[in-house]
Structure 1
Amino acid sequence: MPVPFPVSPTRLALAVSLAFPLCPVLAQTTPPEAQLDAVTVTADRRAEPIKNVPMAVSTLSGEKLDVITSGGQDVRALAARVPSLNIESSFGRAFPRFYIRGYGNTDFRLNASQPVSLVYDDVVQENPILKGFPIFDLEQVEVLRGPQGTLFGRNSPAGVVKFDSVKPTRAVEGYGSVSWATYNTVNTEGAVNTPIGEAWSARLSFLNQRRSDYVQNTAPDAPSPKLEGYNDSALRGQLLYQPHKDFSALFNLHGRDLDGSARVFRANIIQPGTNDLVAGFDPRKVSQDGRNESTLLTRGGSARLRWGLGDYALHSITGFESLRTYNRGDIDGGTPGDVPFSVETADGIPTLRQITQEVRVESLYSGPLNWQAGAYYFHEKYDMESFSYDSTAGGVENGHSLSTQKNDAWAGFGSVSYAVDPKLKLRGGLRYTHDKKEFATREYFATGFRPTIADIGQLTASPSSSKVSWDLGSTYALNTDTNVYARLANGFRAASVQGPGQFNDISDAKPETNTSIEAGIKADLFDKKGRIAFNVFYYQVKDQQLTAVGGAGNGNVLLNAEKTTGQGAELDFQAYLTNQLLVSVGGSYNKTRIRDADLAVSTCGGCTVTDPTNAGGQALIDGNPLPQAPKWTASFTAKYTIPTDAGEWYAYTDWSYRSKVNFFLYESAEFTGKSLLEGGLRLGYTWGDGKYDLALFGRNITNQVRVTGGVDFNNLTGFINEPRTLGAQFRATF
Structure 2
Amino acid sequence: MRKCLQVLLCGSAAISGLAAASGAWAQADGPVQIDELIVTAQKRAENIQDVPAAITAISGAALQERGVASPVDLQFVVPSMQAGKLLGQTAITIRGVGLNQGSPGVAIHVDGVYQPRPSMGDLAQTDIERVEVLRGPQGTLYGRNANGGAINFITQAPSDQLEGYVLGSYATYNETRLQGVINAPFGDRVRSRLVIDRWDRDEGFVKNVLPNGQDVDKGQTLAARLRVQADLLENLTFDLGLTGLHGEGPTSYFTLYNVPTAGAQAVNPYLTGATVPLEPRRIAANDPIGAERDFASASGTFTWDLGDFQVKSITAYQRLADHEVRDDDSINVSAFPSERTARSRTVTQELNIGGQVGPVTAVVGAFYMRDSAFDQLHYDFPLGIFPLPAGSSLDHLSMRTMTKSKAVFGDATWNLTDRARIVAGIRFSEDKITQTQRTLLSFGPTPPFASCPLRTNDVAYKSTTPKIGAQFDVSDDSNVYATYSKGFKSGGWNLYACDNGFEPEKVTSYEAGWKNRLLDNTLIVNASVFYYDYTDLQLSQVVGLVRLIKNAPAAKVKGLEVEAVWKPEEHWTFNANASFLDAKFTEFSNIDSLDPALGTQNVKGHYLNNSPKVSSNVGVAYKTDPLNVGGRLTARADVSYRSKIYFREFNNAQDAQKAYTIVNAALIWDSPEEKYRVRLYATNLFGEDYLVQMDSSDNFGSRFVAWGSPRQVGLELKANF
TM-score (norm: length of structure 2):
0.90
Question: Is residue 301–residue 319 contact of structure 1 (8 Å, CA) maintained in 2?
Answer: yes
Cα shift at 1:211: 0.6
Q: What's the CA shift for 1:99?
A: 0.5
The residue number in structure 1 matching 2:354 is 362
Higher mean alpha-carbon deviation, 183-192 vs 353-362, is at 183-192
Cα shift at 1:327: 2.4
2:39 maps to 41
Q: Please report how far the alpha carbon of residue 459 of structure 1 lies from its aligned counterpart in structure 2 after TM superposition.
A: 3.7
What is the CA distance between 1:238 and its match in structure 2?
Answer: 0.3
Structure 1 counterpart of 2:272: none
Distance in 2, matches of 1:8 and 1:311, equals 53
Q: Shift of residue 60 of structure 1?
A: 1.8
What is the alpha-carbon distance in structure 1 between the residues aligned to residue 547 and residue 66 of structure 2? 34
User: 1:609 is matched with which residue?
Assistant: none
Residue type of the partner of 2:322? Answer: T
1:309 and 1:661, CA in 2 relative to 1: closer, same or farther beyond 3 A?
same
1:226 aligns with 2:239: no
Is 1:162 the counterpart of 2:152? The answer is yes
Kept in 1: contact 2:84–2:708 (CA 8 A): no
2 CA distance for matches of 1:10 and 1:705? 19
Classify the secondary structure of the residue corresponding to 2:314.
strand
Question: Residue in 2 aligned with 1:587?
Answer: 578
Residue 61 of structure 1: aligned partner:
59
Q: Deviations over 1:134-167 (max 9, x none)?
A: 4311111111111111111322122111111011
CA separation in 2, counterparts of 1:500 and 1:300? 28
> Which amino acid in 1 is paired with 2:231?
Q
In structure 1, C-alpha distance between the alignment counterparts of 2:169 and 2:335, rounded to whole Å: 40
Equivalents in 2 of 1:242, 1:330: separation in Å? 52
Match of 1:520 in 2: 513
SS of residue matched to 1:35:
coil
Secondary structure of the 1:183 match is coil
1:217-296, aligned counterparts within 5 Å?
A: 217-219=208-210, 222=213, 225-268=214-257, 283=280, 285-296=282-293
Aligned to 2:271: none
| Contact persistence 1:444–1:452 (CA under 8 A) | yes
Contact (CA 8 Å) 1:332, 1:711: kept in 2 or not?
Answer: no
The alignment status of 1:187 with 2:183, answered yes or no, reads no
Deviation at 1:308, TM superposition (A): 2.0
Paired amino acid for 2:397: L
Check conservation: 2:257, 2:278, Cα contact below 8 A. no
Distance 2:341 2:559 in 1: 38
Report the counterpart of residue 665 of structure 1 in structure 2: 649
Q: State the match for 2:127 in structure 1.
A: 137
Partners of 2:248 and 2:292 within 8 A in 1? yes
Deviation of 1:458 (Å): 8.1
Query: Which of 585, 597, 601 is matched with 2:591 structurally?
Result: 601
Tell me which amino acid in the other structure corresponds to 2:217. Answer: E
Q: Does 1:330 align with 2:364?
A: no
1:533 aligns with 2:529: no
- Find 2:318's aligned residue among 311, 316, 321: 321
CA shift, 1:512, in A, is 2.3
Q: What SS is found at the alignment partner of 2:62?
A: helix
Using a 3 Å threshold, how does the CA distance of structure 1 residues 144 and 580 change in structure 2: closer, same or farther?
A: same
Q: Which amino acid aligns with 1:471?
A: K
Cα deviation digits, residues 174-230 of structure 1 (max 9, x gap): 2222110101111222321121112100011122221113444343574xx332221
Q: For the Cα contact (< 8 Å) 2:531–2:558, is it kept in 1? A: yes
Moved more, 404-413 or 212-221: 212-221
Task: Give the match's secondary structure for 1:410.
Answer: strand
Q: 1:64 to 1:601 in 2, by over 3 A?
A: farther
Q: 1:11 to 1:479 in 2, by over 3 A?
A: closer
Alignment partner, residue 653 of structure 1? 637
Task: Give 5+ residue unaligned stretches, structure 1.
Answer: 1-6, 606-612
Give, in whole Å, the separation in 1 of the partners of 2:171 and 2:392. 38
Structure 1 segment 43-192 matched on structure 2, within 5 A:
43-69=41-67, 74-92=70-88, 95-107=89-101, 112-192=102-182
Residue 132 of structure 2 aligns to a residue whose secondary structure is strand
Which whole-Å CA distance do the structure 1 matches of 2:562 and 2:13 have between them?
21
**Equivalent residue, structure 2, for 1:725:** 712
Write out per-residue CA displacement over residues 383-408 of structure 1, whole angstroms, 9 at most, x where no aligned residue. 00112134669x99933222021000
How far is 1:638 from its partner? 0.9
What is the CA distance between 1:447 and its match in structure 2?
4.0
Q: Separation in 2 of the partners of 1:515 and 1:457?
A: 39
SS across alignment from 1:129: helix
Aligned to 1:3: none
The question of whether the paired residues in 2 share the 8 Å contact of 1:270 and 1:670 is answered with: no
Give the Cα–Cα distance (whole angstroms) in 2 for the partners of residues 68 and 651 of structure 1: 11
1:220-253 C-alpha deviation (Å, 9 max, x unpaired): 574xx33222102221100001144411111100
Where 2:121 maps in the other structure, the secondary structure is helix
Shift of 1:282: 5.2
What corresponds to 2:600 in structure 1? 618
Percentage identity across paired residues of the two chains:
25
Residues 124 and 224 of structure 2 are in contact (CA less than 8 Å); yes or no, is this contact kept in structure 1?
Answer: no
2:620 is matched with: 638
Any stretches of 5+ residues in structure 2 without a counterpart?
263-274, 385-389
DSSP 3-state at the match of 1:77: helix
Identify which of 621, 627, 630 aligns with 2:609.
Answer: 627
| Structure 2 counterparts to residues 445-464 of structure 1, below 5 A | 445-447=441-443, 452=448, 454-456=450-452, 459-464=455-460
- What one-letter code is carried by the residue in structure 2 that aligns with 1:52? D
TM-score calculated relative to the size of structure 1: 0.88
Deviation for aligned residue 1:50 = 0.6
SS of structure 2 residue aligned to 1:83: coil
Q: Deviations over 1:97-143 (max 9, x none)?
A: 11010012322xxxx11221111110110112212214311111111
Mapped contact 2:83–2:692 kept (Cα < 8 A): no
Query: Partner amino acid for 2:706?
Result: F
Q: Is the 8 A contact 2:511 2:528 kept in 1?
A: yes
Show the counterpart of 1:610: none
Paired residue total:
693
Partner amino acid, structure 1, of 2:175: T
Aligned partner of 1:573 in structure 2 is 564
- CA distance in 1 between counterparts of 2:283 and 2:326 reads 13
Tell whether 2:190 aligns with 1:203: no
Q: How does 1:390-429 map to 2 (within 5 A)?
A: 390=381, 398-403=393-398, 404-429=400-425
Aligned-pair RMSD on alpha carbons? 2.8
2:316 and 2:347 in contact (8 A); partners too = yes
Residue of structure 2 in register with 1:384 after alignment: 375
- 1:333 counterpart letter in structure 2: S
